[in-house]
Each structure stands twice: as structure tokens, then as C-alpha cells.
Chain A
Amino acid sequence: MNDKGNEKPILKAIDQVRQIRMTEGERARVRAKLAEMIAQEQAADATAASDLRPDKRRPVKSTFASWGFILAGLAIVILFGAGTTAAAERALPGDRLYGFKVRIVEPVVGAFRGTSDKLAMWQASLVSERLSEAETLASEGRLNDERRDKIEKLLDKHTADLNVALDDTARRDSPEKAAGIGESLRESIIVHVRQLDDIIVHASSSTAASTTRAARSISPDAIRSARDIKDKATTHVRDLKASWTAPLPPQAQPTTTDETIQINAPSVPTSTVPSIRGDSGRIRSEAAREPSSASMKAAAPEAVSGAAVDAAFDKPDKKARR
């Protein structure tokens, strides 16, 4: 457009306008949301594909939009009244209706899932739901030890139930179908781990952009709890990995901070396909650049395990998908 005369004020002005961009955190957040949307869509497609219609794409379908849910919903509504049920769906740990949600609504809905693969998908969606709850609580600074324990206990339970349902699916249906469900859950968990990471890193770093809700006021307790849940979710991903897809490469275990910085150093050429999963890498390189304040030290171990999760999952993942 304007090649000559870099001293022109208009060029300086244009240059400045072009400096308007998202922060790394914002970029990662939008990317994570998009990744989640794509993962959900692909999970829906995988189900369609397993019905031997590989070319027909099924529109994204809500977990709840099925006869099983309608019947279960009716049963619960008849028993408890509509308002309660609707409110319970949005309940978070610590809310009055949360017990109702996880002890009554969810098991009843689960009981109406006709086949083992649908049950497995339902259990998988519960795992995601628990992690979403943790994210909401963490970003609002409402996560504490008690709520963390509750979520972790439920996560264990859902995963155990899921494994049973997946075993069943593999036996009655096909191992591929079971692996498909495991795979899409794995992707969803990775996205959630990233989001938790994002919240933790932003909350830990006092210099983080104050525009994010997460950065406002999160107690160290909430951060620690979020970290615990994140670790738990990471463990579950590993377990899932072990049972349904290729085993983890041994070198991918979390090691030192040095390695993280190496993996994510901006100078390292990233010639591989830019991935929607690169987000935690970005967060981490941002973290690595920050001055090592006390709060950043707290965030550093997260950086390690998060990057290790990336490293661990990206490689076998690609193989498993071929």
C-alpha cells in the first residue's frame, strides 16, 4: 500500500492499529472453546459413522435430546416437579440442589440409556460436566477443599462406571466403538485440563491481564484445588489411554521445568502442523517469560505437567487415529 517513506505518521499510526491483538490467554481461551465445539461435533460424527453411514454428517445433537432423556425427565418431573429439576441441572457443588442433581437426576437419566454405548457416552458426558463445574467454581473463586473432594470422588465414580460400560460396549458392539467413545472423552478432558490450566495460570500470575474474570480474586486454596482436579483429570486421561488406545511413551512423564521451557521456547521452530492443542504451550511460554515472582513459582509446576500432557498425547494420538 505505502512502500515509500516509513517516516510518514500515517504508517506509524497504521502500525499501531495493527498492534491491537488478543492476549495469549484470550487467544488460548477462544481456541479451547472452538476445540471443544469441534470435539463435540466429531464425537457426534463418530456415532453416526459407527452406524455405517460415514458420509452423512449428523448435526450436533445435544446429549439430552433423546428418548431416554425425555422418559427419564418425565419420570423425575412427575416425582419432583419441573422447577426443581431445571434448577438442579445448573446446580454446582455447594449448591443445595447439587446432591439432587448427582444422586437422583443423573443416575435416573443414565438408567434410561438403552444400550451400553449410550450409557458409556452418558458417563463420558458426566466426566466433562464435572470438569466444567470445577472450571466454573474455580473461575469464580468458589472452589474449596470440600467441593474439590466431591468433584474428585464423582470423577472416580464416573470413570469406573464408564469403564464398565466401555467393556460392555467392546464385548457386545465392537472394540472400535468403545475406543471411539474413549477417544472423544480423552479429547474433551484435554480441553478441560487446558481450561483449568488457563484459569490457574491467570489466577497465579498477578501480572496477568486483569480483563479476565479469572484474574480478579481467587484464593490460593481455590487455585490449589483446581490444580488437584486438573491432576486427577490428567490421571484419568492416562488411565483411559492405557485401556483404550496406545500406551503412553515413557519419556512423556512430567520431568523438569527446564524441559518445559525447551519444549515451548519461542525460538524452537514449530514446523509441525499448528494445532488447536498448542494453547497450553502458549500459556506456558507466556509463563516462562514472566519474571519469576512468588506467584509464578506456584504456576510453574502446572506448566510442567500441562506440557507433559501435550507431549504425551500428541504423539500416540496421531498414530491412534490413523
Chain B
Amino acid sequence: MTTRDSQLLATFNQTYEAEADAIFRFCLVRVSDREQALDLVQETFSRLWTTLTSGKEMSNSRAFLFTVAHRLIIDWYRKKKSLSLESMSNEESGESYDQADEATLAVNLELGSEGRFLLEKIKELNPSYRQAVFLRFAEGLSPPEIGEILGISANAASVRINRGIRELRKLSGYDIDEK
């Protein structure tokens, strides 16, 4: 093992310790079971390792991980069920996806009522706002990061977050700060 390898491994371990739970959360609220979410976490980090060892510069590993997880979840959905015409017309260019109804079941067991309520309301949002709002609120990511993850510009991400928050406020009755 070379010094470079040890450094990479150290970086990788640090990133795993710091981000694994966030990625797991991101996956778990979308897919139907824990095992599937764990698989996605594993796959996401294995891609991080591949990218690290390929020598590519990575400025923001957090955004990278969410981006990978986001794509893996989309792939998973595509494999799971072919999208119905209706859901396709609702969603923009296939970049968003449905949250499975049963998805929240796995989460509900360990979540307090407020958290469950918030997730349910986020789920009711327009599909194109859901991810942006979740990433902004639950993970505290910045609009440029969210843009990177969803494959849209930072401005477009800001717009989605703001509209999403407005909608969420209406749906939930929460007094939400837009900053």
C-alpha cells in the first residue's frame, strides 16, 4: 500500500463516517426497505472509492455522494416499475421520481410524529420540488449543491426550493423561513 493509497483510504473513511447516515436517510425515505437503502449506500460509496482512486479531483464529496445516490435511486425505480404515462407527464425529463407509498412505512417506525408529518407533506409536494426541499431542509445543502445533485443550475435549484417551501407552508401550516 503506497502513501497515496493510505491517504485515499483515510479520506474515504472520513467521508464514510461523516456522510453515510445522510446518504442512508436520503435513500431510505425513497425506497421501500432498509436492505435496499443499505445496498444503495454501499454502491454509492463504492463509486466514491472508484472515483477517488481514478485520481479525479473532487471538490465536494458530499454533493458527489448525493448525486450518485440520486442517480442510483432513479435507476432503481426504472428497474422496479416502468413509469406510467401519467407520472411521466407529471415529471420533468425523468429526473424526479415517485416516492413509493410504502416507503414511509420503513421510516415511520422510528420517527416521531412531527418528523413523519413533515415527510408526508414533502411527499405531497409537486415532484419537481420534493428533492430540492428535502435536501435543503433535512440535509442543509446549499442551492448550488442541490443544483449539482439534480443536474440543474443553481438558479433553477433556488427557484424550486422557494416554490417548494411556499407550497410546503400551505400544505403543512408550518411557519417556514425561506432563508
Q: Which residues of A contact B (CB under 8 A)?
A: 1-2, 4, 8-10, 12-22, 26-27, 29-31, 33-34, 37-38, 41-42, 54, 57, 211, 273-276, 321
Q: Tell me, rounded to whole Å, the shortest Cβ–Cβ distance linking B55 to chain A.
A: 9
Whether A274 contacts B34 by the Cβ 8 Å rule is no
Smallest Cβ-Cβ distance to B48: which chain A residue: A34
Complex Cα gap A268–B169 (Å): 44
Q: Tell me, rounded to whole Å, the shortest Cβ–Cβ distance linking B89 to chain A.
A: 30
Of B10, B111, B179, the residue contacting A1 (CB under 8 A) is: B179
B42 lies within 8 A of chain A by Cβ: yes
List the 9 closest A-B pairs by CB distance, nearest first.
A16-B115, A13-B118, A13-B114, A21-B21, A10-B174, A16-B112, A20-B25, A17-B115, A273-B10
Smallest Cβ-Cβ distance to A8: which chain B residue: B175
Complex Cα gap A280–B112 (Å): 30
B107 lies within 8 A of chain A by Cβ: yes
Smallest Cβ-Cβ distance to A180: which chain B residue: B1
Q: Is the interface of A mostly helix, strand, loop or mixed?
A: helix
Whether B20 contacts A22 by the Cβ 8 Å rule is yes
Smallest Cβ-Cβ distance to A57: which chain B residue: B53
Whether A29 contacts B38 by the Cβ 8 Å rule is yes
Whether B140 contacts A13 by the Cβ 8 Å rule is no
B interface residues, tally (CB under 8 Å): 46
Whether A14 contacts B42 by the Cβ 8 Å rule is no
Smallest Cβ-Cβ distance to B138: which chain A residue: A17
What 4 additional pairs, Cβ within 8 angstroms, besides A16-B114, A211-B34? A8-B174, A13-B117, A14-B138, A273-B10
Chain B 93-127 near chain A by CB (<8 Å), digits 1 or 0: 00000000000000100111011111100000000
Of B2, B20, B115, the residue contacting A30 (CB under 8 A) is: B20
* Stretch binding the partner chain, chosen from B11-19, B62-70, B74-82, B149-157: B11-19
Smallest Cβ-Cβ distance to B45: which chain A residue: A34
Q: Tell me, rounded to whole Å, the shortest Cβ–Cβ distance linking A12 to chain B.
A: 5
**Which B residues touch A31, using CB under 8 A?**
16
Whether A14 contacts B21 by the Cβ 8 Å rule is no
**Which B residues touch A34, using CB under 8 A?**
16, 42, 45-46, 49
Whether B114 contacts A27 by the Cβ 8 Å rule is no
Whether B45 contacts A30 by the Cβ 8 Å rule is yes
Q: List 21 A-B contacts (CB under 8 A).
A: A4-B177, A8-B174, A8-B175, A10-B175, A13-B117, A14-B138, A17-B25, A17-B119, A17-B138, A20-B111, A20-B115, A21-B24, A22-B21, A27-B20, A30-B41, A30-B42, A34-B45, A38-B9, A42-B5, A57-B53, A276-B16
